[in-house]
Amino acid sequence: MVFSSNLFLFGFLPVFLACLFIIPARFRNIFILLASLVFYAAGSGTLVWILVFSIIWNYFFAHGIAQGKSRLMLAMGVAANLSLLAYFKYANFFTSEISAYLGELGITSDQTILSITLPIGISFYTFQATSYLIDVYRKAVKPSASIVGFGMYLANFPQLIAGPIVRYSHIEKSIEHRPITLAGFSDGVFRFCIGLGKKILIADAMGEVADLIFALPVNELTTSLAWLGVAAYTLQIYFDFSGYSDMAIGLGKMMGFTFPENFNQPYRARSITEFWRRWHMTLSTWFRDYLYIPLGGNRKGSSRTYFNLFLVFILCGLWHGAAYTFIAWGLFHGLLLTIERIMLNRSGFKLQGITGLLLTILLVMISWVIFRSENIAASGTYLLAMAGLGEGVETYFGLGYYLTHDRLFILCIGWLIALAPFEKLTASGGVGLNPAVLEFGKKAISIMVLLLVTIELAGKVFNPFIYFRF
């Protein structure tokens, strides 16, 4: 079950919200916990028990840390979380690599050594649990007094599957006391609808284009198609993931929670450094606070700083999945960040304005090719095609087959939204609208998006969010 499915929109969500308002406030945590487990089980089946066990052991590890056995319990808790992540996410990769190596030695096997199903959202809730244990150790938060409250935090269905990564400190006060107001609920509905529109109306349309082009044989991939494919995928991954985050934040507002923002118009960045301050912000700050800074950050000289950057982004790539393309993607970003830091430190040079914007977009698009490709060789072939060195021959009708009028319209709208200076439009006094008019506009937009989405979903094949597989 996903947020963009008919089952969720017209079944689970209305029932959940109705029950949430009906039941007494003191029972809401247990209700949200049970509803979240049902939601998760609908998508992952029996793997919901992994989440249940994670709730139990992290709850008791946190109390062990607080009661004096801090270092030992912290090490055991973090090791348990990371071992869980490593087994489910990377065991298949290593066993398949071993099988391939054995095949090269003449030892054949009909199947890989292991066949492990990846629990949806495991990367997100294990990172949340790990940050919780570390924060308890640092005395930044107190361990949850109630296992129900902690379980509700870790299993909270809006952000469980694909983020944003919510730290315990973000909602600690809201666990026991969170009034649900009409204004907050209204804002939540609007934010949810914006995210739903991003996913269904833009991301899915661009995903169709990207999937078709990235699947083309080498001899059919022309330069124009290669650029169209990466332009479409660049929009798809942004609107897909930011759309989910908007929906999660909106659902949180409906329930009385304030989840952290996860995106801030990343394609308006003027450097890769700025890009990572705007893209998947809860992940980048997680790596900063729990890995980069503990490793020494930039406090132990240039060489150590560059090493830390590369290590963080290699692990960031691996966090997305067990594949050489993800590692290469992380290394590419680590290299770009290192180059930017060297240029800034040695000469004070920093790209700005439209030049910085265009170069950053170009570099990000190159990185998305690596990220999206099936393997390193395929990414190299695709990049060669973008550079005009591919095997495909341009034809008059080639581009038009994939870029229909409706797709062209969505492509233009998508890039316009991605690059529009909304921060200037929404600055103090920038909009200049009466609050009542603004509220009416939000409701009108919400209704319009819901109508368009309903029409689109009527004949739509199931298409989950990209980040579900991470």
Cβ neighbours, 10 Å, residue 317: 23
Q: Evaluate the CA torsion angle 142, 146, 149, 152 in order and state its sign.
A: positive
Instruction: State the residue for tokens 């999660």.
Output: 248
Distance CA 17, CA 264 (A): 28
Cβ neighbours, 10 Å, residue 347: 8
Active site residue: 170, 320, 333, 405, which one?
320
Distance CA 206, CA 82 (A): 35
Per the CB < 8 A criterion, the answer to whether 312 and 284 are in contact is: no
Q: What share of the chain is helix, strand, coil (3-state, %, to 5)?
A: 75, 0, 25
Distance CA 347, CA 194 (A): 43
Distance CA 216, CA 377 (A): 14
Distance CA 361, CA 32 (A): 40
Distance CA 135, CA 61 (A): 12
Q: Which residues contact 100 (CB under 8 A, 6 or more apart)?
A: none
Per the CB < 8 A criterion, the answer to whether 314 and 327 are in contact is: yes
Question: Token digits for 444?
Answer: 């009108």
Amino acid at position 424, single letter: K
- DSSP helix/strand/coil, 178: coil
Q: Evaluate the CA torsion angle 15, 19, 22, 25 in order and state its sign.
A: negative
Residue 320 annotated among the catalytic residues of the structure: yes
Question: Token digits for 265?
Answer: 């118009």
Encode burial over 49-71: b for 16+ CB neighbours within 10 A, e otherwise. Answer: ebbeebbeebbebbbbbbeeeee
Closest CA to 125 of 41, 30, 54: 54
* Residues noted as catalytic: 320
